[in-house]
Structure 1
Amino acid sequence: MGERKTFELEQGWEYMQKGITKLKGILDGSLEQFNSEEYMMLYTTIYNMCTQKPPNDYSQQLYDKYREAFQVYINSTVLPSIKEKHNEFMLRELVKRWANHKIMVRWLSRFFHYLDRYFIARRSLPPLNEVGLTCFRDLVYQKVTSKAKDAVLDVNVMENRLTEHC
């Protein structure tokens, strides 16, 4: 029986980034979905990179890159799209981005599931789902919370004025 091909971190991560890019496109409205073959290849890539013999076991690096993928997406796409809007439109964008973020967490957690089952459990690290949700809290919610509160108050004031005039 032959040796299994060794994946280098850069090679495997490049493939994973293509999947992450496709997922971002889906969240932004692309009609193209993942087929079962693509899904299995993404999962298998993570599996292979986590089950190679040291020093080619990239579990820790992949765990870190999972978090980094959310940080990059939030800072490059989510935050700018929320910050450029005001009042009710900002609130709508925040709600939309939160819904999309939860979908992204669910999909990426599936791709990286092998990490959750073995590496994370053995190391007592926060599970992937928690890491993804914490990124949104730390990078989005804490930055826009006061602006969101002001927007809610502005919407309430406008609604009160409208009801007074009717």
Structure 2
Amino acid sequence: MKHQVIEWEQGWSYMQAGITKLKRIIQGLPEPQFSSEDYMMLYATVYNMRTQNPPYDYSQQLYDKYRETFQDYITSTVLPSLKEKRGEFMLQEFVKSWTNHKVMVRWLSRFFHYLDRYFIADRSLANLDEVGLNSFRDFVYRETKVDARVAVIGLINKEREGRKLTETY
């Protein structure tokens, strides 16, 4: 039985729909959870796009888009929400963003897992978890570390002065 070739536009469009759904879930927007069928279809799409014969093997493009997905999400959603807050509220948002980011890495790395198994290993590239986690460090932490340090020092001083701290960390 011959598989139908999945063109880049068709396959990536399907993956983008799954990624958008994941982002909405993470942000707490109304969205049904992923069903087993949803998950398997996303995984199968990556599998098929990875195992097609050239010129339809889209492994490198999928890997690049995986990385780009994190960068786009961080610059369009995470950083703006952090930059509009100060002090203790910025730290709370930072913790929330980090928690959400780890969930996003876990789910996206599962969808794209077949890349980890062969393509990434064969080329000695950073694995999917590394790409996802490093993107937070490179784009969020490095951008906010000075403000975070100031906020933490402010909380330490507040505690030293005997003022009550919010216990949401």
Q: Which TM-score bucket, shorter chain as reference?
A: over 0.9
Match of 2:85 in 1: 85
> What per-residue deviation string (whole Å, max 9, x for no partner) do you get for residues 38-81 of structure 1?
00000000000001000000000000000000000000000101
Matches within 5 A, 1:119-138: 119-138=119-138
Match of 1:52 in 2: 52
Q: CA RMSD in A?
A: 1.0
Question: Which segments of 5 or more consecutive residues in structure 2 lack a partner in the other structure?
Answer: 164-169
Partner Cα distance (2:77, 2:7) in 1: 29
- Worse-matched range after superposition: 91-100 or 154-163: 154-163
* SS in structure 2 of the partner of residue 125 of structure 1: coil
Partner Cα distance (2:115, 2:85) in 1: 37
Match of 2:12 in 1: 13
Aligned-residue offset at 1:4: 1.1
Match of 1:26 in 2: 25
Aligned-residue offset at 1:161: 2.1
Match of 1:106 in 2: 106
AA at the equivalent of 2:17: K
Q: Does 1:74 align with 2:70?
A: no
Match of 1:150 in 2: 150
Partner Cα distance (1:153, 1:54) in 2: 55
Match of 2:141 in 1: 141
AA at the equivalent of 1:89: F
Aligned-residue offset at 1:10: 1.4
AA at the equivalent of 1:108: L
Match of 1:162 in 2: 162
Aligned-residue offset at 1:157: 1.6
Partner Cα distance (1:99, 1:124) in 2: 28
Question: Which segments of 5 or more consecutive residues in structure 1 lack a partner in the other structure?
Answer: none
Match of 2:42 in 1: 42
AA at the equivalent of 1:107: W
> What per-residue deviation string (whole Å, max 9, x for no partner) do you get for residues 11-62 of structure 1?
1111101111111111111352100010000000000000100000000000
Report percent identity of matched pairs: 65
